Structure 1
Amino acid sequence: MSLKLAVFDVDGTLVDSRGPILQALTEGAKAVGLEPPPYEEARHIVGLSLVEALQHLRPEADAALIDAYAHEYKQAFLRFHADPDFREILYPGAEATLLRLKAEGWLIGMATGKSRRGVNRVLDVFGWRDLFDATYCGDDGPSKPHPFMVTENMRVLGVDAAQTLMIGDASFDMRMAREARAYAIGVSWGFHTVEELDAAGAHQIVHDFNELDGALNAFEARAVA
């Protein structure tokens, strides 16, 4: 059987985290005396590892202030998850696609700017520990768009670039995939626009999980031909 690896981003791709991320950025900024970012500003940095994202967001802040902002951002998420009414929302079709891929023998990887604690929380909340064969995050090495997370998924799972695709909502994901020589599929329902994904080198852009399923099937047909 030919190997096939689908590497997924999380925020903006599988999980609709736009509200919680903006709220955490807002609460964190207020806690350290910085101007809270509007959504249009915040959406451009989602996907980077946290410290790098905050440095891009507030370049005028020194390292100590950025560290404090990162701490307050994490504390905000801890408060969210302590609330019994808090729910992280999957995009419609996300879990069905993951389950189908697993049933059909795909390898499934993760490449996310989340911390390792954030990855573990997602895996536990959605019961995905048996779905993902490898997970790489912002704590493991260079931030997106460096190809590290994709190439490490390929390395540990024994898959080459021709058998690998990356699915993400951000230009960082597309550039990361291109650098790793993997096939780059952009999704239009997350943080970055279709125009931004296209400019970053997406091989293909899809608009819902049904369309993504078709793209995955087409990739599989090419990979095993």
Structure 2
Amino acid sequence: MANFQLIVFDWDGTLLDSTGMIAASIQAAARDLGIAEPSDERARHIIGLGLIDALRYAMPGLPPERYNEVAERYRYHYLARDHELLLFPGAAELIKELSNTGFQLAVATGKSRNGLNRALEVSGLGRYFRITRCADECYSKPHPQMLEELIEAFDVAPATTLMIGDTTHDLQMAKNARTHGLGVTYGAHPRPMLEAEAPLFCADNVSQLAAWLRRHG
């Protein structure tokens, strides 16, 4: 494992098996407020985006002054069950292995800072990620700001940075930051959408991801 110095992970749908609950919570929030409920496909597509971009896509035509209402109901439904969420099988072991091997590790996520801090604590993975970036402190994916700030903070080159995520937003961000991108197909976006962004590889599970990183990392 010598080609990459910094490996950046998305969180939801990449390390944490949460995409189904996120989509269901978005739909439940819409029902609570009498707003047209987005389809499963539309609700899953927004995973990884910042709040405003997500709501613009999921609920087109929704007046901006109602965004806070939707966000409040979304958080209500998600937080009521987030203690049930688990890391994907093998995810914790992979992060520990990468850290022990000497990689620098980071997270770039559409979650809020409070949400990510909570997730890192509950999962026990916080110690492995020295620096992280969230959607409420940077421009939303696919804008490159999160990756650019991480690259600067770790003092590495874009060419030695790998972004791993389950959405086209992650892979487009990698392109925009001039880094490498790798897709995982077990999260929010299907393989054809990910492959259209020409990632280095698409992994169907964490075991495949780990095997690829051992060979090419």
Range of TM-score over shorter length? over 0.9
The CA deviation at 1:3 is 6.7
SS in 2 for 1:16: coil
> Is the contact between residue 18 and residue 85 of structure 2 (CA under 8 Å) also seen in structure 1?
yes
2:126 pairs with 117, 120, 129, which one?
129
Q: Which runs of 5+ in 1 are unaligned?
A: 221-225
Aligned to 1:27: 28
User: What's the RMSD between the two structures over aligned residues?
Assistant: 1.6
**In 1, Cα distance between equivalents of 2:3 and 2:117:** 29
- Counterpart CA distance in 2 for 1:181 and 1:216 is 19
Do the aligned partners of 1:51 and 1:70 also contact (CA within 8 Å) in 2?
Answer: no
Q: Which runs of 5+ in 2 are unaligned?
A: none
Equivalent residue in structure 2 for 1:153, among 150, 153, 158: 150
What is the number of residues matched between the two proteins? 216
Quote the residue 1:223 is aligned against.
none
Identity of aligned residues (%): 37
Task: Give 1:51 deviation, angstroms.
Answer: 2.1
1:195 aligns with 2:197: no
Report what 1:66 is aligned to. Answer: 67
The runs of at least 4 aligned residues of structure 1 exceeding 3 Å deviation read none
Amino acid in the other structure paired with 1:171: T
Instruction: Please give the TM-score of this superposition, normalised by the length of structure 2.
Output: 0.94
**Structure 1 residue 2: Cα displacement:** 8.3
Q: In 2, are the aligned partners of 1:184 and 1:203 still within 8 Å (CA)?
A: yes
1:182 pairs, out of 172, 176, 179, with 179
Q: Distance in 2 between matches of 1:215 and 1:105?
A: 17
Whether the 8 Å contact between 1:15 and 1:90 is mirrored in structure 2 is: yes
Structure 1 residue 16, shift from structure 2 partner: 0.8
AA in 1 matched with 2:195: D
Letter in 1 for 2:101: E
**Alignment of 1:108 onto 2:78:** no
Query: Offset at 1:18?
Result: 2.3
Tell me, in whole angstroms, the C-alpha distance in 2 between the residues paired with 1:112 and 1:202: 18
SS of the counterpart of 1:135? Answer: strand
Give the match's secondary structure for 2:124: coil
Which residue type is aligned with residue 75 of structure 1?
Y
Contact 1:9-1:167 at 8 Å conserved across structures:
yes
> What's the TM-score, normalizing by structure 1?
0.90
Cα deviation per residue 1:109-144 (whole Å; 9 max; x = unaligned)? 101100111101111101122110211011111000
1:55 correspondence with 2:56: yes
Structure 2 Cα separation of the partners of residues 219 and 178 of structure 1: 19
